[in-house]
Structure 1
Amino acid sequence: MVKIRLASPITTDSVVDGKGLRTVIWCQGCTHHCQGCHNADTQDLNGGFEQEINDLVQAVLAVELQSGVTFSGGEPMLQPVACTAIAEKLKSRGVNIWCYTGFTFEELLNRPDCLKFLQYIDVLIDGKFELALKSYDLLFKGSANQRIIDVSESLKEKKVVLYEPLP
């Protein structure tokens, strides 16, 4: 059975982790150690707890009236096999998937394990949090260097295509 290391149980009804009401999967472990990290308690690679992915998927699917799921953390791309397995199950049920990562989209394209995960992600917020570029006026991201990427269009066009979150 595949397990994932989580920082906490899922959060529901989030309005800051992507468009609409979202359920958030909080991955544990991050090696970026961004100064001013909003979720510093999720950095310890051995912290949190393990959960079987089928149990996690059932918990997520039991949540009603959600717009989608967001992988955050911590760093989801440090657990690409588990995250891919979860995303594949959720996507087969029509769930919209967003993911936050400190890696850049271009870095992830060079990692086959992460590239597989990317294929299930609708929107990726990429790049390390940069304290000097922090702004409370940014939608769905913490610093101006981060990008909100339309993953399927970017993979199709073979270049970064930014997601436009507002109608």
Structure 2
Amino acid sequence: MNYHRYIPIDVVNGPGTRATLFVSGCEHKCRGCYNATTWKPTSGHPFTQEMEDQIIADLCDTKIRRRGLSLSGGDPLFPSNIEAVGRLVRRAKAEAPTKDIWLWSGYTLEEMSSQQLDVLAYVDVLVDGKFVQELHDAKLVWRGSSNQRILELKDIFARMQQAA
């Protein structure tokens, strides 16, 4: 996996102070996307063990407390990102269990593969759906267009288990 940018102290992409990773790779290619430079999976920088270690260290930092980790892009659930993103969220939950994880994806929850859903088992909040320029609303918080949903996954997965 590659990434475009890592912001160790971020107050824009989710609630509170966060660590934010923008990954490379997106097949949605939404018209009007503000992050179109992240679409190509090979763009940006290789996501290394050192970068993963830095993100975990930042989440565990007691001097600059972060509420959580935000994953955006590109698309963290782009097929070639699933393994590395899955490893990162599992490690974040194991080593920084009090931190929340937010993930932005152009895929809707209903259309996700079992591999993508496996990653979401470690994510607290999913902002799903493609950006639709005609539905853009600058007043929206943490999403760009009104079709996108902010989903508390704990509640959704609990209901899915009850229905099964």
- TM-score of the pair, normalised by structure 2: 0.88
Alignment of 1:7-156 (within 5 A): 7-8=4-5, 10-52=6-48, 54-63=49-58, 64-78=64-78, 79-92=81-94, 93-94=96-97, 95-108=99-112, 111-156=113-158
- Which shows bigger deviation, 139-148 or 12-21? 12-21
Counterpart CA distance in 1 for 2:146 and 2:34 is: 15
Deviation of 1:74 after TM superposition, in Å, equals: 0.3
| Structural RMSD (CA) | 1.4
Counterpart CA distance in 1 for 2:139 and 2:47 is: 35
5+ residue gaps, structure 1: 160-167
Counterpart CA distance in 2 for 1:33 and 1:157 is: 32
Counterpart CA distance in 2 for 1:81 and 1:116 is: 10
Q: Deviations over 1:19-77 (max 9, x none)?
A: 1111111110111010110111101122112122x322321133231110011000110
Counterpart CA distance in 2 for 1:113 and 1:85 is: 12
Counterpart CA distance in 1 for 2:157 and 2:90 is: 17
Instruction: Give the structure with the larger helix fraction.
Output: 2
Counterpart CA distance in 1 for 2:33 and 2:50 is: 29
Aligned length: 152
Counterpart CA distance in 2 for 1:44 and 1:62 is: 28
Deviation of 1:158 after TM superposition, in Å, equals: 2.1
Give 3-state SS (helix, strand or coil) of 1:55's partner.
helix
AA matched with 1:116? D
Q: Deviations over 1:72-130 (max 9, x none)?
A: 0001101111101000000112131000000001111xx12111101000000000001
- TM-score of the pair, normalised by structure 1: 0.86
1:57–1:89: 8 Å Cα contact kept in structure 2?
A: no
Question: In structure 2, what is the equivalent of residue 5 of structure 1?
Answer: 2
Counterpart CA distance in 2 for 1:127 and 1:15 is: 22
1:13–1:22: 8 Å Cα contact kept in structure 2?
A: yes
Counterpart CA distance in 2 for 1:136 and 1:31 is: 24
The percent identity for this pair of structures is 31
Flag as ranges the 4+ runs of structure 1 deviating above 3 A: none
